Amino acid sequence: MPEALDVTCPCCGSLLKVDAETGSVVWVDKKKEPAQDFDDLVNRVQAQRGLLDEKFRRSVQQNRNQKEILEKKFEEARKRAALDPNVRPPNPFDNE
């Protein structure tokens, strides 16, 4: 079984590992552009921070929505249980 071939991308200069049998790319080692100056580095870090902050905000909002949905489901189940307290809820392990 031949090993993966190392190929350099002519467009971006990334190092690609290509499977010799299938011809598919199994690994990409992207080259980062060297920083022009300190301000360029600071701008990159701030851009990453903004992206991460946005992802965090979306995650918090999703968790908040999930909590509200679960509370509504629980209240609905509580109302149904209060209507007929003698009936047991279905057991998910019963095979009926």
Residues 25 and 51 in one domain: no
Q: Residue 35: its pLDDT value, please?
A: 66
Helical residues (DSSP H) of 1-96, grouped into ranges:
38-83
Neighbouring residues of 17: CB distance < 8 A, sequence distance ≥ 6: 4, 5, 6, 7, 25, 26, 27, 28, 29
CA distance 74 to 72: 5
| Residues of the chain above pLDDT 90, percent | 14
Same domain, residue pair 56 and 70: yes
Q: Quote the number of domains for the chain.
A: 2
70/42 same-domain check: yes
Torsion of CA 35, 37, 43, 45, to 10 degrees: 60
Q: Are residues 60 and 21 in the same domain?
A: no
Instruction: Kindly state whether residue 68 falls inside one of the protein's structural domains.
Output: yes
Which structural domain range is residue 59 located in? 34-84
Question: What tens digit of pLDDT does each residue of 40-49 get?
Answer: 888 888 889 9
Residue 12 lies in a domain: yes
Assess whether pLDDT exceeds 90 at residue 62: no
pLDDT at 14: 87
Task: Give the integer Cα–Cα distance in Å for 14 and 57.
Answer: 33
pTM: 0.37
| Secondary element (H or E) of residue 7 | strand 5-8
Is residue 90 included in any domain, yes or no? no
pLDDT at residue 53 is higher than 90: yes
Decide if 10 is inside a domain: yes
Q: Does residue 56 sit within a domain?
A: yes
The answer to whether 19 and 26 are in contact (CB under 8 A) is yes
- Do both 40 and 24 map to the same domain? no
**What are the pLDDT digits (tens) for 15-46?**
999 888 888 888 888 877 776 788 888 888 88
For residue 15, the SS3 value is strand
